[in-house]
Chain A
Amino acid sequence: MTFPLTTSVNRDLAGAAPTTDDEIRSAGPLAARAVGVTKVYGTGDARVSALGGVTLGIPGGRFTAIMGPSGSGKSTLMHCLAGLDTVTDGKVFVGDVELTRLDDRRLTRLRRDRIGFVFQSFNLIPTLTALENITLPMDIAGVRPDPAWLDTVIDTVGLRPRLRHRPSELSGGQQQRVACARALASKPEIIFADEPTGNLDSRSGAEVLSFLRNSVREMGQTVVMVTHDPVAASYADLVVFLADGRIVDQLADPTAEGVLERMKGLDR
């Protein structure tokens, strides 16, 4: 493994990843954390271990990227952190709530009220307008959106002229921006983005990533993004590297080149 020098390295977080709950908790205020999480699919000969004991803290108000080659378990990790998937062993917390103890009803409510999502594709309900899609989680919850905040979000993503349009009338980049706006609009504690730029051209991708980074810098939002694109990862404050279901490395304030170097190391 090589550890190229990066500019303005955050000493506390750079280098080898912390491995115990105490270690990650000592690092600062956490928006979410995983403690000794394992995830096994199938049984017997068909048994596949996707996560082999992951302990990870997601710092609040930061933009964290989870990187790794295909099959490294990065998506599984995100799904477990977001309460979309159950873990085989270990614990997952969002804030102080232990997700691994919640039933489906409570988990649904938690996702609705405290988590925002941006997926790679198919982020929007085709029958709803852009605005209706943005307010969907709050509409489901039966709460009124904060109009001032909604205005801010809409202006930030630059979608005001398109609010009445349906998803089919929006470009791919615009659709992802609507998805980002939806994730932000309910002021969630944490936003999970799963390859949000995977289906976009580089310009639209850059817009979406800038928007996510700005929401962290300017609004203090916590964002976790899964990606395999080093350029996308370079927008993050911190990159966590995953290989074979384990955290193998961390990199703070990354550059695309730095991330690429480390990825090459992982592939070896």
Chain B
Amino acid sequence: MITRLTLKNLAAHKLRLGLTALAVVLGTAFVAGTLIFSGTTDKAFDDLFSEGTHTVDVTVQGRQAFAGSADGVAVKPVPASVLDEVRGVDGVAEARGQITGFAAIVGRDGKIVGGNGPPQLGIGWPSSLSDYGLVTGRGPAGPHEIAIDSVTAEKTGYTTGDQVKVVAKGPAEPYEVVGVFKVGASGRTGGVTYAAFDPATAQRLLVEPGSFSGIVAKAANGVSPAELATRVGAVVPAEYEAITAQQAADDAAGGVRELLGFLSTFLLTFGVISIFVGSFIIFNTFSMLVAQRTRDLALLRAVGASRRQVTLSVMGEALGVGLLGSIAGLLAGAGLAVGLRGLFSAFGADLPTTGLVIAPSTVVWTLAVGVTVTLVAAYFPARRAAKTPPVAALRDDVATPARSLRARAVAGGLSAVVGAALLATGLAGDGGNPLALVGGGALLVFLAVAMLSPLFARPVTRVLGAPLVRLFGTTARLGSGNAQRNPRRTSATAAALMIGMALIATVSVLAASMTASIDKALDGSLGADFQVSAGGGFGPPGSFDPSVAAALAAVPGVRSATPMTYAQVKLDNEPVFAAVGDPAALAGPFGLEMESGTLAAGADEILVDAKTAKAGGWTAGSTVRGQYADGAFATIRIAGVFADNPMAGSYLMGEATHAAHYPGSRVSTVLVVKEPTADAAAVRKDLDASLAAYPNLTLQDQSDIKEQARASVGQLLTMITALLVLSIVIAILGIINTLALSVIERTREIGLLRAVGMGRRQLRRMIRYESVLISVFGALLGIAVGIGFGWAVQRALASQGIDVLSVPAAQLGAYLAAAALVGVLAAVWPARRAARMDVLRAIATQ
């Protein structure tokens, strides 16, 4: 019986529940889309990386304790002698040296093909046992020949016979394209570009003459890859390791997977936010439906339905809405996953494709999240429905008496205190999982604001409405009155917008603070006039040959050109990034000031900044146990302490240490200081000219660097804001839903207004004012909360360089104006419905 009633109610309120379901759809679609996207991409990368393992069983490469260098690719080269040893191992059917490294093809526009994102690879031809099949032409055979992959060929239009420039370790050099090959079976490269050289050229350009980046071996019949790996491992020198090809593929895929995992978490966060926002709408809709059906529910109770049955009937409706919404969300999510892929390729990250992977776990998660959130949000209204006294069926005044807000105030206050405490703990980094603490704390604070806001919804909307009333008279007074009449409803509706606005405001405050902090840091410290670096944008910074520094130093008007890079080192088992270079040479460009010790770092010596020294209890001369990327342990001596310096960071490693433990002495940055008397523009022109052969390198002056920092902060801000707009869309749906339900609820009132002479246009205006007031109220709450959050996060990050708080007032004002516009938009449809209402029927409605 209750089931039938539930189904009938679902059918009777199709439209209202439809809008609610849409909120569920949007939230779950984001979750499902993210899960499908990451599942699909994961599988695609697995396919890509395992392609090579069909023909290879064991890989030999330089041992790496952890990703040591900033560019994450340099490993110790394997000399040819090791190849001979491997070939001599019993059970090796075939072994070859593999040559891989950075080599970028220069496009017809003089820029690197592929740009930021996936790496540009050079390979030795045919060094690998995996399958690079020629499509046209032949393999490269001399020092001036290359073959390129088919995707790059298609993208650039290069074909056999063309002269193409390629930049590897040294300056760009011209090569003749003699062949085009297909990578793997699919030919897809995932955005990576390939240039193949003959083995000797490849060794010279990509590794070291006579050395390989790795060795691949194939097992003889009857020898398992694991067995072979053990046998080979016993033969090669200790600084090299032998692993199965499967292991190597997993390792390679691991990095990508870690990145994808981070991306998924990032995207899922927004899905969770959307669902959280959606839950407010679900809660509100069910509250309103229950309020409107008080008489029906009371009648049910009067004829003998138990409280449980009434609750179940409402929960049944929620189940229906949640289930339908989640299924639709799953389908929409598949579309979203395709869209995300498109977005990535639009940004140049051409992900390998495979059919959409909709894992069973994706389906389960999506449905579970959608249904659970709907049920939880509907539970409170359902319980209230059950409390309807049977006598309400007989009373004429359907309006439920105003309940006290005291319980709310207490619960809200408690939630605010606990939430703030969690936030503080998480931001301070004390607790176990800071991210979860911050997220949970923010959630509680949002709930607290939503719970407490009915307490001040009335005065705030009255104050906000006052100028409208003064300007627009009665219609505004009516609209403002409607916004004030049910503070809970106004608050719950506004809360949905509050959350999105708060997050956007938080990000805006943080972005402004970051920009201001960067400006301040650069203004204060950068002694270098120019900076030369490879690549940028996504991915790790590229590296290049130190000889570039010498070339730059020779440019007239240049006082010094100092090469530097970054390296990872473990101190007391904590991995940290250290700047690498000659401290004395870097002192000028960095503006280093020593507090104690010497301005030099020999082997197994390191300089630290004052802040770090204090935290570690170190002084000049202290020692700390450390480990380098090649796995070597050392007792590292603190050679000196320098004053905190945003350019140098916290650690500075000498070149001797780096050369000993980090393969391939490459640099990632050259800091250039000009003669004080030299003309900046002229020097820049000359520097540019000397870099002409390095299209992979970028020359920036101080304002370029600031601009770049500003741009990347802006880009991040735009991206996060775009993702948060989804929650705003859901909030708009919520406002539409509330207004539409309010219009239905106030049918007779609207009929009366029309009867006594209110025109349709005035009626629409009245609803619009209400909508705008609700929206602006929500936005104000959100911006206030957002400034608070932004301040808290900035305080927490102050020690990491974001030491200036900046509140972008103009931007936040624009958001407020946008919120008013949101109100206008949300009112369009409900207002039209109200205006179309038949006057007579409206009056006659019971």
Contact = CB atoms under 8 A, between A and B. Distances in A.
A113 B758 CA distance: 11
Given A113-B757, A142-B473, A127 B484 contact: yes
Contact of B756 (A85, A117, A127): A117
B17 to A, nearest CB: 27
Interface string B474-514: 11011001101100000000000000000000000000000
B474 A140 contact: yes
B839 interface: yes
A85 B757 CA distance: 14
A127 B481 contact: yes
A104 B752 contact: no
A128 B840 contact: no
Given A84-B840, A139-B473, A108 B757 contact: yes
A124 B478 CA distance: 12
A84 B757 CA distance: 10
A111 B485 contact: no
A122 B398 CA distance: 12
B408 interface: no
A126 B843 CA distance: 15
B485 A126 contact: yes
A89 interface: no
B481 A182 contact: no
B762 interface: yes
Interface in A79-98: 79, 82, 84-85
Interface string A102-117: 0011001101110011
Contacts of A119: 752, 755, 843
Given A125-B749, A127-B478, A84 B758 contact: no
A207 interface: no
A132 interface: yes
A259 to B, nearest CB: 25
Contacts of B759: 105, 108-109, 140
A20 interface: no
Contacts of B760: 104-105, 108
A37 to B, nearest CB: 15
Give the dominant DSSP class at B's interface: helix
Given A84-B839, A126-B485, A182 B477 contact: no
A123 B759 CA distance: 18
Nearest to B758: A140
A122 B753 CA distance: 11
A124 B475 CA distance: 15
Given A122-B749, A139-B474, A140-B762, A111 B482 contact: no
Interface string B731-753: 00000000000000000110011
B843 A127 contact: no
B842 to A, nearest CB: 10
A141 interface: yes
A111 B755 contact: yes
Nearest to A111: B757
B362 to A, nearest CB: 48
Contacts of B474: 136, 139-140
Nearest to A107: B839
**Interface size bracket, B side:** 20 to 34
A158 B481 CA distance: 26
Q: Which of A85, A111, A128, A140 has the most CB of B within 10 A?
A: A140
A84 B756 contact: no
Nearest to B483: A127
B752 A127 contact: no
B754 interface: yes
A220 B534 CA distance: 94
Contacts of B843: 84, 119
A254 interface: no
A137 interface: yes
A84 B478 contact: no
B840 A141 contact: no
A266 to B, nearest CB: 24
Contacts of B473: 139, 142
Contacts of B481: 125, 127-128
A48 B197 CA distance: 92
Contacts, number: 73
B748 to A, nearest CB: 5
A178 B567 CA distance: 83
Contacts of A105: 759-760
B351 to A, nearest CB: 56
B757 A140 contact: yes
B485 A127 contact: yes
B282 to A, nearest CB: 27
Contacts of B477: 128, 132, 139
Interface in B742-785: 748-749, 752-760, 762
Nearest to A123: B752
Contacts of A117: 752, 755-756
Contact of A126 (B475, B749, B757, B840): B749
B753 to A, nearest CB: 7
Interface string B16-59: 00000000000000000000000000000000000000000000
Contacts of B839: 84
B756 A140 contact: yes
A112 B758 contact: yes
Contacts of A137: 756-757
Contacts of A104: 760
Given A119-B843, A128-B481, A109 B757 contact: yes
B485 A141 contact: no
Nearest to B766: A140
Interface string B817-846: 000000000000000000000011001000
Interface string A44-80: 0000000000000000000000000000000000010
Contacts of A121: 396
Interface string A237-261: 0000000000000000000000000
A79 B756 CA distance: 13
A84 B484 contact: no
A79 B748 CA distance: 15
A121 B751 CA distance: 12
A182 B840 contact: no
Interface string A137-165: 10111100000000000000000000000
Nearest to B485: A127
A182 B758 CA distance: 14
Contacts of A124: 752
A79 B757 CA distance: 14
A142 B476 CA distance: 13
A200 B306 CA distance: 35
Contacts of A84: 755, 839-840, 843
Nearest to A136: B756
A126 B750 CA distance: 12
Contacts of B757: 108-109, 111-113, 137, 140-141
B818 to A, nearest CB: 28
A169 B154 CA distance: 80
A112 B485 CA distance: 25
Nearest to B749: A125
Contact of A108 (B482, B748, B754): B754
Contacts of B478: 125, 127-128
Contacts of A127: 478, 481-482, 484-485
Nearest to A121: B396
Nearest to A76: B840
Contacts of A132: 477
Of B475, B753, B839, which is in contact with the most chain A CB atoms at under 10 Å from its CB?
A: B839
16 contacts: A84-B755, A104-B760, A105-B759, A105-B760, A108-B759, A113-B757, A117-B752, A122-B749, A125-B749, A125-B752, A126-B485, A127-B478, A137-B756, A139-B473, A140-B474, A199-B396
Interface of A: 79, 82, 84-85, 104-105, 108-109, 111-113, 116-117, 119, 121-128, 132, 136-137, 139-142, 182, 199
Given A84-B839, A84-B840, A109-B757, 10 more contacts: A105-B759, A108-B754, A111-B756, A117-B752, A121-B396, A127-B482, A136-B753, A137-B756, A140-B757, A199-B396
